[in-house]
Chains A and B, each alone.
Chain A
Amino acid sequence: MGPDLLGRRLLVVTGKGGVGKSTIAAALALVAATRGRRVLVVDVDAKGTIADRFEAAAIGFKPREVMPGISLMAMDTEASLAEYMRLNLRVPIIGRLGPLARALDFVATAAPGVREILTIGKVCWEVRESIEGRADWDLVIVDAASTGHVIAQLGAADAIGELVAVGPVRGQTAWMSELLADPAITALNVVTTPEEMPVAETIDLVRRARTELNVPLGAVIVNRVLPELFTRDDEQIFEALSNAPMLDQLVTRVGPGATTVMDAARLAVAMRRSRVEHLNRLRAEVDLPTLFVPYLFARSQGRRETAMVADALAAELGV
């Protein structure tokens, strides 16, 4: 039985660049949606990768349903600010913010946490609206920034109070902190691959999340795990087949192509072996529930791959 991720209201998905965060976020959404949940996926980096996973057209700040039960939105701090001001300060903003936005953008760059709070604030707002029945979602999944930046984003609600001592923003952040800290609502999940750097960053992130954040951790999701080809006994046969006299017999029987087939198999075995070492390190240093997603020998990255990853995740989650 896997961790109860689908029972939460907010799943944040982070990890080192290139490990497949968007694929995993999309697949989690698909797992939830096929089980009747209405899901909002937020693309925080707004690179458009999440839309590709559903083969959908480019997305904007306003959520759009791309398939039954799954809506996508791209984070936009300017739009988030406009919405915030409209809802909280009763400052009507018509159209784009123009020079005011550029000035605020500038201040946001300088002021710690302002940009982050606009990002995480929008996410929290959608979650709160959904809990209170005013938004259509049962679950919000965040395709988050990579490991380095996600700590700043999730910690923004806590951190902003330290610098902005009096502004009304401060009073607006306490509920966010509470929501993010509630293990019944939120889970921070880390995607990795069984390689040196991603595993090292995962270990580091889990440690930092525990010391610097008040956000419950969910699961570690190991993506692109190569299959173990042989049992110990079969491996002996494989070794024998790779060498004389069996290899020669095989070549005589099957043709010269047998040599390259054996070379390819040796490459597969060796690749698997080198990755096992990193998996062992991950297991030794991170005590979170771990979900394994196999390396997909798929043709392309689109709905098909998302569906395959979703199946693997569903099996790991036991749903």
Chain B
Amino acid sequence: MNATPLSAEVPGHGHGPSLESLLATKEIVVFCGSGGVGKTSMAAAAGLAAASRIGGKVLVVTVDPAKRLADALGIESIGNVERQVPAEAFVRAGLEPRGELYAAMLDTKQSWDALVLRHAPDEQTALRILDNRLYENLTARFVQSHDYVAMERLFEIHQTGTYDLIIVDTPPTRNALDFLDAPKRMAEFFGGRLLRWLTAPYRVGGRRGARILTAASRPFYQVADRLLGSQFLQDIAEFFLNFQSMYDGFVARSRSVEELLHDKRTTFAVVTTLEDAPLREGERFCDELTKRNFHLGALILNKTLPTELFGPAGARAATQMRHESVAIATDVHDGFESESVARVLVTIGMSFENFAVVARREAELRNELTHRPDVVVDVPTFAGEISDVSGLARIARYLMPS
């Protein structure tokens, strides 16, 4: 396969800020973007690039890696434990393992359990929360629980000071921006009037089950009772009463998490493809990051068609092959039936023209990029899927051209 351009042809190489300088100077790089754009592969490849070229201890935290990628990194079903990618894997991929690469998968449930155990005032309360039938449902869904726990875990790992660089692959969410708000929303949730208001009728007087309604909360309970039944509401309130005991711990913690995301040691890399919908989402993301004073480090354009293949010389040749196929095949057939050669030439020419339409659209979208961070990196589409460290090494060469 010769279609892979040489790294020397990668635009922007060697001048000004680069992904390499970001990976060398920041302590945390958060990869984000909409679903299906290849976030996880980019995060893993960036980790590989950093570990092999810059050195130090590098950790890649991923959420839901493709099985092959997980296998490649050796992180299949190991929960929250960080595991080192063996040095031999680097060597096999033709890389020099200058530093150490670790990978970990985020297990939401385990991380939540750990949080509850840390913040609950005593073990009894912790167990009451963990055993509540609402708990699992809640941690699976409320206030972007995956997002929060991903950021929380990032904070925890960063605090240990074990790694020089932590690369985070953000969870696939409906709204890719949710995780930014997660720490703040978590604090608001626990400090919110709403929670107090909801649990108040069950708290007064200390008699469980005896509800005292205020003028403000009465209409709510009237409707809610009719919808859900009062027993169920009581279950919820009791659960939150226990949960509230963790308030101080949670709030302090989520503030620290938010500070870390805003810290100048942290940067964000937005990953997108040059397709309408993911790109629009990616640009919105760039805008939001900037608006909220997060550091937007890089925009990575993934799965692009190699532009050098679809230049004017190729276009001329393709048109000729398509329209003069019979004449060309008379001269070039090398023992094959010239009729068959002509047919193949037409197919090749048409295929080129098809892909050229896409390449032109990509070029146009690239030109229209309104929000360009200092670093914009192109990673061309690869024939196969990334299934091993060698595959990641190929991406890494684009992320960090030598």
Sample 16 A-B pairs with CB under 8 A, ordered by A number.
A17-B36, A52-B277, A106-B194, A106-B198, A107-B198, A110-B236, A111-B236, A164-B232, A169-B227, A234-B347, A255-B320, A257-B316, A261-B317, A263-B2, A266-B2, A301-B276
Tell me, yes or no, whether A135 is within 8 Å of chain B by CB.
Answer: no
- Chain A proximity of B129: nearest CB distance (Å): 13
Tell me, yes or no, whether B66 is within 8 Å of chain A by CB.
Answer: yes
Residues of B within 8 A of A104 (CB): 220, 223-224, 227
Residues of A within 8 A of B174 (CB): 45, 47, 145-146
Whether the pair A17, B3 counts as a contact (CB closer than 8 A) is no
Whether the pair B35, A265 counts as a contact (CB closer than 8 A) is no
Whether the pair A249, B348 counts as a contact (CB closer than 8 A) is no
Tell me, yes or no, whether B314 is within 8 Å of chain A by CB.
Answer: yes
Whether the pair A146, B343 counts as a contact (CB closer than 8 A) is no
Residues 328-344 (chain B) with a chain A CB within 8 angstroms: 328, 331-332, 334, 336, 340-341, 343-344
Q: A106-B194, A240-B334 are in contact. Are A163 and B309 (CB under 8 A)?
A: no
Segment at the B interface, from A2-10, A180-188, A193-201, A310-318? A193-201
7 extra A-B contacts, CB within 8 A, seeds A264-B310, A270-B1, A274-B384: A111-B134, A241-B332, A256-B317, A257-B317, A260-B317, A261-B348, A264-B3
Whether the pair A250, B332 counts as a contact (CB closer than 8 A) is yes
The complex places the Cα of A271 from the Cα of B382 at a distance, in Å, of: 7
Whether the pair B232, A258 counts as a contact (CB closer than 8 A) is no
What is the 8 Å Cβ interface bit string for chain B, positions 261-298, against chain A (1 contact, 0 not)? 00000000000000111100000000000000000000
Most chain A Cβ neighbours within 10 Å, of B347, B348, B385? B348
Tell me, yes or no, whether A67 is within 8 Å of chain B by CB.
Answer: no
Whether the pair B383, A114 counts as a contact (CB closer than 8 A) is no
- Chain A proximity of B122: nearest CB distance (Å): 23
Whether the pair A49, B277 counts as a contact (CB closer than 8 A) is yes
Tell me, yes or no, whether A245 is within 8 Å of chain B by CB.
Answer: yes
The complex places the Cα of A254 from the Cα of B317 at a distance, in Å, of: 6
Rank and list the top 7 A-B pairs by shortest CB-CB distance, nearest first. Answer: A18-B36, A17-B35, A257-B317, A270-B383, A257-B313, A167-B229, A297-B354
Residues of B within 8 A of A102 (CB): 194
Residues of A within 8 A of B159 (CB): none
Question: Is chain A's binding surface mostly helix, strand, loop or mixed?
Answer: helix
Segment at the A interface, from B78-86, B137-145, B370-378? B137-145
Residues of A within 8 A of B381 (CB): 267, 271
Tell me, yes or no, whether B367 is within 8 Å of chain A by CB.
Answer: no
The complex places the Cα of A102 from the Cα of B336 at a distance, in Å, of: 74
Instruction: Give A168's nearest chain B residue, CB to CB.
Output: B226
The complex places the Cα of A297 from the Cα of B359 at a distance, in Å, of: 10
Tell me, yes or no, whether B157 is within 8 Å of chain A by CB.
Answer: no
Whether the pair A200, B67 counts as a contact (CB closer than 8 A) is yes
Whether the pair A16, B36 counts as a contact (CB closer than 8 A) is yes
The complex places the Cα of A165 from the Cα of B232 at a distance, in Å, of: 8
The complex places the Cα of A103 from the Cα of B213 at a distance, in Å, of: 15
What is the 8 Å Cβ interface bit string for chain A, positions 135-174, against chain B (1 contact, 0 not)? 0000000000110000000000000000111111100000
Residues of B within 8 A of A167 (CB): 225-229, 232
Q: A261-B352, A264-B310 are in contact. Are A110 and B142 (CB under 8 A)?
A: yes
Residues of A within 8 A of B239 (CB): 110
Count, chain B residues at interface, CB 8 A: 80
Tell me, yes or no, whether B255 is within 8 Å of chain A by CB.
Answer: no
The complex places the Cα of A102 from the Cα of B193 at a distance, in Å, of: 11
- Chain B proximity of A167: nearest CB distance (Å): 4
Tell me, yes or no, whether A87 is within 8 Å of chain B by CB.
Answer: no
Question: Is chain B's binding surface mostly helix, strand, loop or mixed?
Answer: helix
Residues 218-276 (chain A) with a chain B CB within 8 angstroms: 227, 229-230, 233-234, 236-238, 240-241, 245-246, 249-250, 253-258, 260-268, 270-271, 273-274
Q: A246-B332, A257-B313, A301-B277 are in contact. Are A266 and B3 (CB under 8 A)?
A: yes
Tell me, yes or no, whether B17 is within 8 Å of chain A by CB.
Answer: no
Whether the pair A249, B226 counts as a contact (CB closer than 8 A) is no
Tell me, yes or no, whether A112 is within 8 Å of chain B by CB.
Answer: yes
Whether the pair A264, B309 counts as a contact (CB closer than 8 A) is yes
Residues 60-117 (chain A) with a chain B CB within 8 angstroms: 85, 89, 91, 99-100, 102-104, 106-107, 109-112, 114
Tell me, yes or no, whether B351 is within 8 Å of chain A by CB.
Answer: yes
Tell me, yes or no, whether B172 is within 8 Å of chain A by CB.
Answer: yes
Residues of B within 8 A of A267 (CB): 1, 3, 306, 309, 355, 381, 383
Instruction: Give A103's nearest chain B residue, CB to CB.
Output: B220
Residues of B within 8 A of A99 (CB): 220
Q: A89-B226, A260-B309 are in contact. Are A255 and B37 (CB under 8 A)?
A: no
The complex places the Cα of A264 from the Cα of B315 at a distance, in Å, of: 11
Tell me, yes or no, whether A134 is within 8 Å of chain B by CB.
Answer: no
Whether the pair B232, A163 counts as a contact (CB closer than 8 A) is yes
Most chain B Cβ neighbours within 10 Å, of A165, A234, A297? A297
The complex places the Cα of A109 from the Cα of B226 at a distance, in Å, of: 18
Tell me, yes or no, whether B34 is within 8 Å of chain A by CB.
Answer: yes
The complex places the Cα of A6 from the Cα of B317 at a distance, in Å, of: 45
The complex places the Cα of A99 from the Cα of B223 at a distance, in Å, of: 13
Tell me, yes or no, whether B326 is within 8 Å of chain A by CB.
Answer: no
Residues of B within 8 A of A111 (CB): 134, 228, 232, 236
Cβ-defined partner of A260 (8 Å) among B226, B311, B331, B357: B311
- Chain A proximity of B198: nearest CB distance (Å): 7
Q: A85-B223, A254-B320, A264-B351 are in contact. Are A196 and B232 (CB under 8 A)?
A: no
Tell me, yes or no, whether A19 is within 8 Å of chain B by CB.
Answer: yes
Tell me, yes or no, whether B197 is within 8 Å of chain A by CB.
Answer: yes
Tell me, yes or no, whether A211 is within 8 Å of chain B by CB.
Answer: no
